[in-house]
Amino acid sequence: MRNPWPWKLELRGTPSRSMTYLSPVLAVVLTMLLGALLFMALGKDPLAGLKVFLIDPFNGKRAISELLLKSVPLILCALGLAVCFRANIWNIGAEGQFTVGALFAGATLVAIDVPGHAIPGGLGLLLMIVAGILGGAFWASITAVLRDRFNANEILVSLMLTYVAQLLLMYAVNGPLKDPNGMNFPQSKVFSSEFMLPELISGTRLHIGFAVTLVLAIVMTVFMTRSFRGFSLIVGGTAPHAARYAGFSSRSALWISLLISGSFAGLAGAFEIAGPIGQLLPSVSPGYGFAAIIVAFIGRLHPVGAVLGGLVMSLLYLGGELAQSRLGLPSAITGVFQGMLLFLLLASDTLIDYRLRWKAKV
């Protein structure tokens, strides 16, 4: 293809380390600039639009706690996906794993949270969380089995399972887990407050799960950079032949990464049930599992990066909600921004291997 631009891309001798870290920043900045153009095209003041996305979510304790709250499921799912992508396992079913985690957790609470059953709040909470983790891991293990035993493409399988998971949740809230006093709405009962996660900052909705998420990010950093298992996993992803030569099993990489990813997504689902939502709804996730794919890439497939990426993505979600209430735009604008962000990140990443050179005039 002939290059129509006044510049050209020149292959660098070695990939640029600084661009690896600058590229996500560049992508975020470009997304905001394109976003401003989008606001203009929609006949809105671009500065007011950007303020809604960049400044309002930081406006006060309540706003910031909401920002951190929303980042929890995004970071958790992205932590797991980063491991998968590092191991070259294209698990894109975190959304389904999240859904099943929430379903298992919700079902546990429906079973426990009945008058007369004397299960203390702390124990119930623990059971609920374990159920969520097991649910997510179970759902991911289906993908692992089919990939391992039948060589089935994990992208398509994990995605199809997401649709199945959503239908399963729909079935549950319309059937066995439906609130008998819920005026026929497809939802479970509202769980008692004793089974809700304790709040981290009093007077806000931010719960203890945020602290757990940060701890898990540290654990995953150690796992991926310091442990033998993490090392063999990453080698398997980047250089499969070398990994085979070193005797690292690709089967165990498949299983470990998918089980980690599923557990984290399931935990995120449980946290949503016992945190901000407090009951089981068909709409437990506004696409957290898919957004987490972007978070993982923005975070350079690194746990610390996932935390930062999760905060950026949380900003987009809140910005989208505010754009709806303050600017009268559909909240689906979040999805547009998400897609743009990933496109621009992929484009910016070109600068890791190439540098821009202005073409000499002929």
Partner 1 sequence: MEQFASLIAASINAGTPLLLAALGLLINERAGVLNLGAEGMMLVAAIAGFAVGYATHSPMLGFIAGALSGMLMASLFSWLALMLATNQVATGLALSIFGTGLSAFIGQRFVGLALPSQTLSIPFLKDLPFVGPALFQQHWMSYLSLLLCAAIAWFIYRTRAGLILRAVGESPESAHALGYPVRWIRFAALLFGGACCGLAGAYLSLVYTPMWVEGLVSGHGWIALALTAFATWRPLRVLLGALLFGGVTILQFYLQGIGVTVPSQILSMLPYAATIVVLALISRNPDWIRLNMPASLGKPFKPNAS
Give the interface with partner 1 as residue ranges (CB under 8 A): 1, 3, 8-11, 90, 92, 146, 149-153, 155-157, 159-161, 163-164, 167-168, 170-171, 174-175, 287, 290-291, 293-294, 297, 330, 332-340, 342-343, 346-347, 349-350, 354
Whichever of 64 and 156 has its CB closer to partner 1, that residue is 156
**For residues 299 and 295, what is the distance between their CA atoms, to the nearest angstrom?**
6
C-alpha of 291 from chain center: 5
- Indicate the DSSP class of residue 207: B
Whichever of 274 and 318 has its CB closer to partner 1, that residue is 318
Give the 3-state secondary structure of residue 60: coil
Q: How far is the CB of 147 from partner 1 (least distance, A)?
A: 9
Q: How far is the CB of 186 from partner 1 (least distance, A)?
A: 10
Across 152-168, b (16+ Cβ under 10 Å) vs e yields eebeebbbebbebbbeb
Whichever of 321 and 349 has its CB closer to partner 1, that residue is 349
Q: Would you say how long the chain is, in residues?
A: 362
Strands (E) in 85-139, as ranges, are: none
Whichever of 255 and 290 has its CB closer to partner 1, that residue is 290
Residue with tokens 């979510």: 57
Q: How far is the CB of 146 from partner 1 (least distance, A)?
A: 5
Residue with tokens 């957790």: 105
Q: How far is the CB of 65 from partner 1 (least distance, A)?
A: 26
Output the six-digit token pair for 141.
């293990």
- Indicate the DSSP class of residue 277: I
Q: How far is the CB of 120 from partner 1 (least distance, A)?
A: 34
Q: How far is the CB of 60 from partner 1 (least distance, A)?
A: 28
Whichever of 61 and 251 has its CB closer to partner 1, that residue is 251
Q: Are the beta carbons of 216 and 74 closer than 8 angstroms?
A: no
Whichever of 12 and 62 has its CB closer to partner 1, that residue is 12
